[in-house]
Structure formats: structure tokens, C-alpha cells
Amino acid sequence: MTIEAIIFDFDGVILETETPDYETWRDEFAGHGVELDRSLWTGFVGGSPGTFDPYEHLEELTGHVVDRDLVGKRRRKHYLSRVESSPILPGVVDYMAGTKALGLKLGVASSSSRQWVEGHLIKRDLMRYVGAVRCRDDVINVKPDPELFLSAAAALGIAPAHCVVIEDSANGVTAAKRAGMYCVVVPNSITIGMAVDHADLRLRSLGDVTLSALIEHLRN
């Protein structure tokens, strides 16, 4: 297998945004005396943010209308505070730096907004490694549709069959495989229980295997 590009998902792969997203909503639900079911939440991870409406679900469980503006601002404040203090996930910087050393191209493909993704990449000094970013702003369909990954590959000038995707969710793995790409899944604390057997390789952490070792494994 000839590898010419690595394409990263963002949320849950580069930065741990998914655990605080769920936990801050869980805490908000608990403050209203109801429970946000984890299995319900994880079913939407990695896909379109519009597929699950937490406000609507909260109102269904409580049986009354909530002040969405108040709830949203309070929850968002707690969420952003936690994300800002979160470190880049293990192995990510080494992998990104390694792409240049190995002569590979690097892309990021995310169902989140460009403002969110590029904002964090710039703030964390990671944009210098990235050749292309594709987000929900750039496509009609987000994951599990393959459009994001195909768009990223096209922007990098690399055929899909020569791209390796690094993902954390079932929706992301499905999108990568539909795009005809090799997929490495690295589940986080939110996605660890997902069925991701359709990934080509599962790792506990990018910190466990160097990029060079991964590429060597794929080539053999």
C-alpha cells in the first residue's frame, strides 16, 4: 500500500472536545432533575450537529419549556472552559511533524465548523503542518457521508486509495471507508464503546505507535 497523505478528524482525535461536550450537557440535564442517556448521545458523535437537539430532548424529559438561551450560554461557558484547558491528545504533534519528515501530506476533515477547527489549530500552533482543512462549511453532506474525506483528498491532490484517515467514531470510520480510504480508529472515553470493527486498525492512543511504524505496518 502506498501512503501519500494522512487525514485527521478533529474532535476527539486532535483535541478532546467530545467528553466535555457530553459531560457539560449531562450536568445541565442533571440540574433539571433528569438524565442524559450516554448511549443516546454517542449515537450522534462524529456526524451532523443538527441530528440531535439537546434542548428538545431536555424539554421532553422535564415536560416543560426551558429557557434555551440561558441553558445554552451557561452550558457553553463551562464547555469552552474545559476545552481551552485540554491538552492536544497524545501522539498528535509527533504524527503531524512526522508527515513532513516522511514526505506525506496532511489534511483535517471535520463535521464541525471551520471557525471551530481552524481556530483551535491556529491557537495550538498546528496549522503549520496542515495542507488542507475541510469542514461542514465546505460540503453538502457531513459524516457518515464520505464527502468531507473526498474533498480533503482532492484539496491535497492525493487519490483516496493513498490516504490514511485517523478517526475516533463509528460515523467517521464509515465515512472514511465509503471514501475508499484506509482508516485507523483511536476511540476516546465517549466513543470507546462504539462498534468500530469496520476500521482497518484500532489503536489505544497515537502515542503507542509512531507514524513511521504505522506506515511500515501498512506497507507490509
Return the residue matching grid coordinates 464509515: 174
**pLDDT score recorded for residue 54:** 93
C-alpha of 23 from chain center = 17
The pLDDT profile of the chain, 220 residues, written as one tens digit per residue, is 799 999 999 999 999 998 999 999 999 999 999 999 988 888 777 665 557 899 999 999 999 999 999 999 999 999 999 999 999 999 999 999 999 999 999 999 999 999 999 999 999 999 999 999 999 999 999 999 999 999 999 999 999 999 999 999 999 999 999 999 999 999 988 888 888 999 999 999 999 999 999 998 888 7
Q: Which residues contact 108 (CB under 8 A, 6 or more apart)?
A: 7, 8, 9, 10, 14, 117, 121, 130, 132, 133, 134, 152
Active site (annotated) includes residue 69:
no
Cis peptide bond N-terminal to 144, omega within 30 = yes
Single out the catalytic residue among 9, 21, 145, 168.
9
Note if the pTM is more than 0.75: yes
Return the residue matching grid coordinates 467530545: 18
| Nearest alpha-carbon partner for 177 in 136, 146, 133 | 146
CA–CA distances in Å: residue 65 to residues 35, 49, 55, 56, 141:
16, 21, 9, 9, 31
**pLDDT score recorded for residue 74:** 96
**pLDDT score recorded for residue 201:** 94
| Domain 5-16+87-219, CATH | 3.40.50.1000
Active site (annotated) includes residue 9:
yes
**pLDDT score recorded for residue 17:** 93
